[in-house]
Amino acid sequence: MAIAETKSDHSEGMSYLETVPKRLVTLYLPLLIFLVVLLFPFYWMALTAIKPNEQLLDMERVSPFWTWDPTLQHIKKLLFESNYPKWLWNTMYVAAGATALSIIASVLAAYAIVRLRFKGAQTVGGLIFLAYLVPPSILFIPLATVVFQYGLFDSPLALILVYPTILIPFSTWLLMGYFKTIPFELEECALIDGASRWQILTRIVLPLSIPGLISAFIFCFTLCWNEFIYALTFLQSVTNKTVPVAIVNEFVDGDIYRWGSLMAGALVGSLPLVVLYAFFVEHYVSAMTGAVKE
C-alpha cells in the first residue's frame, strides 16, 4: 500500500512536465537562458577573432553580433607572427609541473590527516584549509623576495615552486573529504595481511580515489593556467611569459587594444581547458559530491 502511494505521489509530482507549455517554461526556457549566458563569451571571442580590423569598432554600419567578411588574419598573426606558441608551451609546462607537485603533496598530507589519526589532526586540516583563504595579492610580495634571493626570477621554475602555496591547501581539503568515503576496513584487512602504509596508499587508496585525484588535478591545472598576479610579478622576458600575461602585455600598445589578436589569444588559450573539462566533468562532479558529503 505504501509503495503504491509512493509511486502515485511521484507521478503526480512529475505531472507538470507532461504538457508542452509547462515543459517549455520550467525546463527548456531556463536551460536556454543558461546556455546563452554560458556560451556567449566564447561566441564573442570567436566572432572578434575573425572580424576584420575595420569592423571591430564600427558599431553603426556593421552588426556587433555577426560578420559577413570573416578573416583569419588575427589568428595568423597570433600563431605565426608572435611568440604565442612559446607562451602556450610555458603555460602548459608551468601548469603541469605545479599541478604534479601539488597533487603529490596533497595526497600525502590528506592521507596522513585522515588515516594516521595523530593528535590534532583535525586542527591541522582546518588550518591547511584556512591557508587557502589568504589572498595571493598579499603573499606575492614576500614570495618575490624569496624567488629573487634564490636566483629564480624571470624563470618558469619560479611559478612551479610558488603555485603550490595556493594549490595544496584546497587540494588537501578536497582529498581529505574523498579519503573519508573509502571504508577503513579495507586498510585494516591490508594491515592484518602485513601491508605497509605506503603499500596501502599506492595499491588500495589511490586506485579507489581516481575521481578525487582527477577533481584535484582539474582544479590545480585550471588555477595555474589562468593565474595572473604571480606570473606578472615573477616573469619579465617576453619569451618566458605565460598566456594570460603575454596577450595583455604584447597586444596592448598604450591605449590601443588589438582586440582581434587579444580575443584570438584568449580563445585559443581556453581550448585546452574546455577539452579537459569535457573529458573529466563526470569525475569532477562525483569527487566534489563525495568531498561535500563528508
Q: How confident is the model at residue 146 (pLDDT cuts 50, 70, 90)?
A: confident
Convert the pLDDT of each residue in 255-277 to its tens digit: 778 888 888 888 888 888 888 88
Question: Cell 577573432 sits at which residue?
Answer: 49
Would you place residue 9 in the very low, low, confident or very high pLDDT band (cuts 50, 70, 90)?
Answer: very low
Query: Worst-scoring range by mean pLDDT, 31-35, 46-50, 105-109, 248-252?
Result: 248-252
Q: What confidence tier does 8 reach under pLDDT thresholds 50, 70, 90?
A: very low
Whole-number pLDDT of residue 241: 92
Q: What is the pLDDT of residue 144?
A: 85
- Asked if the model's pLDDT at residue 132 lies above 60, the reply is yes
What percent of the chain is modeled with pLDDT above 70?
88
Residue 16: predicted pLDDT: 54
Q: Are 125 and 113 in contact (CB under 8 A)?
A: yes
pLDDT digits (tens, 9 = 90+) for 39-54: 898 898 888 888 888 8
CA dihedral 62, 67, 69, 75 (to 10 degrees): 120
Decide: 261 and 74 in contact? Cβ < 8 Å.
yes
Return d(Cα 266, Cα 45) in angstroms, integer: 7
* pLDDT value of residue 12: 53
- Kindly tell me if the per-residue pLDDT of 65 is higher than 90: no
Mean pLDDT across the chain = 83
Q: Could you tell me the pTM of the whole model?
A: 0.81
Mean pLDDT of 150-171: 90
CA-to-CA distance for 226 and 84, rounded, in angstroms? 15
Give the domain ranges of the chain: 2-76, 83-293
Strand-pair category, 256-257 with 252-253: antiparallel
Is the per-residue pLDDT at 294 higher than 80? Answer: no
- The pLDDT, as a whole number, for residue 41 is 87
Q: How confident is the model at residue 250 (pLDDT cuts 50, 70, 90)?
A: confident
Distance between CA atoms of 17 and 26, rounded to whole angstroms? 8
Quick check: 285 pLDDT over 70? no
Q: What is the mean pLDDT of residues 138-150?
A: 85
Domain 83-293 superfamily per CATH: MetI-like (1.10.3720.10)
